[in-house]
């Protein structure tokens, strides 16, 4: 059996920050997670506790992910999210109807290739892309195969140029890139304003615990044992 904790990551800390705090709480050095969340993002982190559990992490990293995402239309960001340098777009048109928006979103469903954003932790030739991006450098990135299995329009605020979507996708999908590409399709620009991961495979955010509720006396109460798949 493998031992995991479902953590509800708040916006702000990196996924690595969460792991470091858990190491201090549990006094266990070998801890890992099944998929990074950006610092501004929040939601479900599937955390493996102990050497025997982390050995099997790769089998969980590949599980499908589900997200709730809020997009701001009418502007772009160099990071594809609200943390970057935001520029307003000269808008020639704006998707004003729910029918039109759903029609565009439907185009993104299915298997496709997606180019990783420069501001990402992906490594190329041993260098993390975001470190190069901060130096003002941009290098060629090869598209990777992903699949968007579902996009559902959850909320539309036409007056505020905002929309919220629910996305079910394969591992390795960048929701920031998806938001950017949706903005290009609308011909008005878009960036990611909020991101919450709600599911990893069959693991749900509603069953996760906030890190501030865990201490060195009770952390084992929040552990779940899983078969080695």
Residues 98 and 131 in one domain: yes
Beta strand spans in the chain (E): 2-9, 31-33, 42-49, 65-73, 75-77, 86-88, 110-114, 123-124, 127-128, 144-157, 162-169, 190-200, 203-204, 209-210, 224-226
Residues 81 and 42 in one domain: no
pLDDT of amino acid 187: 86
20 is catalytic: no
pLDDT of amino acid 58: 86
Beta-carbon contacts of residue 57 (< 8 Å; ≥ 6 apart): 32, 33, 34, 48
pLDDT of amino acid 122: 64
pLDDT of amino acid 117: 73
Could you tell me if 59 and 203 are in contact, meaning their C-beta atoms sit under 8 angstroms apart?
no
Residues 73 and 155 in one domain: yes
Tell me how many domains the chain contains. Answer: 2
Which pLDDT tens digit goes with each residue over 61-106?
999 999 999 999 999 999 999 999 999 987 666 666 889 899 999 9
Residues 59 and 104 in one domain: no
Residues 216 and 185 in one domain: no
Residues 87 and 168 in one domain: yes
Low-confidence ranges of the chain (pLDDT < 50): none
Number of Cβ atoms within 10 Å of the Cβ of 100: 13
**Reduced to 3 states, what is the DSSP secondary structure of residue 140?**
coil
pLDDT of amino acid 225: 84
Q: What is the DSSP letter of 218?
A: T
Residues 56 and 72 in one domain: no
pLDDT of amino acid 143: 83
Catalytic residue among 38, 52, 78, 221: 38
CATH number where 100 lies: 3.30.2350.10
Residues 110 and 124 in one domain: yes
Residues 91 and 187 in one domain: yes
Residues 156 and 115 in one domain: yes
Residues 57 and 71 in one domain: no
Residues 35 and 78 in one domain: no
* 17: containing domain: 2-63+203-226
Which residues in 64-78 are b (16+ Cβ under 10 Å) and which e? bbbbbbbbbbbbbbb
If we measure between CA atoms, which residue out of 48, 61, 56 comes closest to residue 3?
48
pLDDT of amino acid 46: 96
């Amino acid at each position: 059996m493998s031992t995991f904790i479902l953590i509800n990551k708040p916006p702000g800390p990196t996924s690595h920050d969460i792991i470091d705090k858990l190491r201090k709480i549990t006094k266990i050095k070998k801890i890992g997670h099944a998929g990074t969340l950006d610092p501004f993002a929040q939601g479900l982190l599937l955390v493996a506790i102990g050497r025997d559990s982390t050995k099997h992490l790769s089998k969980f990293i590949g599980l499908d992910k589900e997200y709730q995402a809020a997009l701001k239309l009418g502007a772009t960001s160099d990071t594809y999210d609200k943390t970057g340098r935001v520029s307003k777009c000269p808008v020639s048109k704006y998707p004003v109807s729910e029918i039109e928006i759903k029609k565009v979103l439907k185009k993104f469903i299915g298997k496709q290739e997606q180019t990783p954003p420069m501001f990402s932790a992906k490594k190329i030739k041993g260098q993390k892309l975001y470190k190069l991006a901060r130096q003002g450098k941009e290098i060629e990135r090869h598209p990777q195969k992903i699949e968007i299995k579902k996009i559902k329009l959850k909320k539309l605020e036409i007056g505020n140029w905002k929309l919220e979507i629910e996305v079910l996708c394969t591992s390795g999908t960048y929701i920031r890139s998806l938001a950017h590409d949706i903005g290009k399709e609308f011909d008005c620009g878009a960036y990611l304003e909020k991101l919450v991961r709600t599911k990893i495979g069959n693991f749900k955010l509603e069953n996760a615990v906030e890190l501030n509720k865990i201490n060195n006396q009770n952390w084992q109460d929040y552990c779940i044992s899983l078969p080695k798949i």
